Amino acid sequence: MVDRTNREAETRTEEVRAASWSPPAILPDPDPREGFEHRWVRTALTGTPDPTNVSQRLREGWEPCKSEEYPEIVLKVPGAAKPRGGNIEVGGLMLCRMPTPLFRQREAYYDNLAQQQMTGVDNNFMRESDPRMPLFKERSTKVTFGRNR
């Protein structure tokens, strides 16, 4: 007699893939805030202050995040809040935020700029094309049935 156990009674052992180790992130991510996008802005490069970069980012619309508004960052990185205005700084980078609508407008502006540059490159490249020896040749195939005439 053949042993016919119910299929539902059978158990399968799942092979669990071992989790691979990866190094931790150098900069902690803030908890998402409704209506804001976050970015780390360079305040110093190799120990030399970079006020030009900070000024440019602030004029773009980025505003420094205060340590009292982001306690999760201060807990993850002891000493992250510097005395200068209570901003969150880690290794020459300052956590900044921008309202999402302004961020989307900025994104659209730079996407449009990149598209214009690509169009210019394509136009310049195609201008070099000569009809006697085109850079690109449109290829088409034609299928006919019956006799060739």
Domain count, the chain: 1
Burial 78-96 (b: 16+ CB within 10 A, else e): eebbeeeeebbbbebbbbb
Helices (H) and strands (E) in the chain, counts: 3, 6
Query: Is 41 a member of any domain?
Result: yes
Query: Is 53 a member of any domain?
Result: yes
Q: Rg of the chain over CA atoms, in angstroms?
A: 29
Query: Is 138 a member of any domain?
Result: no
Range of the domain at 73: 36-126
Query: Is 140 a member of any domain?
Result: no
**CB of 100 closer than 8 Å to CB of 135:** no
For 66-117, the pLDDT digits (tens) are: 888 888 876 666 555 554 578 888 888 999 999 999 999 999 999 999 999 9
On the question of pLDDT at 7 being above 90, the answer is no
Distance CA 125, CA 127 (A): 5
On the question of pLDDT at 130 being above 50, the answer is yes
